[in-house]
Amino acid sequence: MYDEMKTADPNHYLDPVVQILKTHWPANRCVNVVCHGHSVPAGYFATPRVDTFNAYPYLLHRGLKDRFPFAVINVIVTAIGGENSERGAARFEDTVLCHRPDVLTLDYALNDRRIGLAASEAAWRSMIENALSRDVKVLLMTPTADSALTAAVTGERDAESALALEPYPLRDHAELIRRLAGEYGVGLADSFAAFEKYLAQGGALSDLLSWSNHPSRKGHELATRELLCWFPAFGG
């Protein structure tokens, strides 16, 4: 059914949602954006600290309001720290679709290394197909990085990057998510590519992390920019 290997066009994929966001009272309605996943969208920084207002769901909300000042927007976080996609899929109907999302973001890859690619793929497919059957627009998110990324990019290893064994597992999960976005024709917010680009341009990974595997405000800003690309304020 979903065999077109082409990621959605960021300029038009969310056109129906963007049109609602542009609509003025009294013809408008509330738009629900649901952010589903693990500790990163849940807002964990240096565990156990939860810094909600510096995490990408809140930054996305702020960015959307700046872009669409007449819109009524509800950004709902259904993420749970420590969870993987199998567990997220198991509660998808009861705790995600119950919010009737217009747009859904999925972010589980950091924790999915524990369950492996095959189990991860099955869970992501379940959530994607369930959402699409309800006419929900889906934005898949590749992972934000962990402290092993520097070693994976440069080949250098130190005490902090002892887990950086090749092949770097997050790259495999990022590729899986990109492939699923193409297969289902949904949106892709490529946080992992944004982190890699930052390092390739001479930035330090420490700028982007608040914890070994949790982004800092700057890391969340990179993820937010990837998401906001899908909500063009002009055209459409």
**pLDDT at 222 > cutoff 70:** yes
In angstroms, the Cα distances linking 150 to 99, 154, 200, 224 are 38, 6, 10, 22
Furthest C-alpha separation in the chain? 59
The pLDDT, as a whole number, for residue 220 is 98
Pairing verdict, β 137-141 and 30-37: unpaired
CB 151 within 8 A of CB 164: yes
Q: Which of 46, 42, 63, 43 is nearest to 54 (CA)?
A: 43
The pLDDT, as a whole number, for residue 167 is 59
Confidence of residue 228 (pLDDT cuts 50, 70, 90): very high
Phi, psi of 145 (to 5 degrees): -90, 175
Region 8-31 average pLDDT: 97
pLDDT digits (tens, 9 = 90+) for 70-124: 999 999 999 999 999 999 999 999 999 999 999 999 999 999 999 999 999 999 9
Residue with tokens 């952010």: 35
CB 187 within 8 A of CB 230: yes
The pLDDT, as a whole number, for residue 168 is 77
Question: Structurally, what CATH architecture does the domain formed by 15-154+192-228 represent?
Answer: 3-Layer(aba) Sandwich (3.40)
CB 233 within 8 A of CB 67: yes
The pLDDT, as a whole number, for residue 148 is 83
Average pLDDT of the residues of the chain: 91
Confidence of residue 7 (pLDDT cuts 50, 70, 90): confident
The pLDDT, as a whole number, for residue 6 is 80
Triad 215, 220, 223: Cα angle to 5°? 115
CA–CA gap between residue 132 and residue 37 (Å, rounded)? 17
Domain boundaries defined on the chain = 15-154+192-228
The dihedral region occupied by 37, where left means phi > 0, alpha psi between -120 and 50, and beta the remainder, is left
Helix residue ranges per DSSP H, 23-99: 39-42, 56-67, 85-90, 92-95
Phi, psi of 10 (to 5 degrees): -65, -20
Which range (4-8, 37-41, 170-174, 209-213) has the least confidence?
Answer: 4-8
Percent of the chain topping pLDDT 70: 89
Percent of the chain topping pLDDT 90: 85
pLDDT digits (tens, 9 = 90+) for 149-203: 766 555 554 434 433 444 578 999 999 999 999 999 999 999 999 999 999 999 9
**Dihedral sign from CA coordinates of 192, 42, 21, 218:** negative
The pLDDT, as a whole number, for residue 1 is 39
Which residues, in sequence order, are bridge partners of residue 188? 140
Which range (4-13, 198-207, 222-231) has the least confidence?
Answer: 4-13
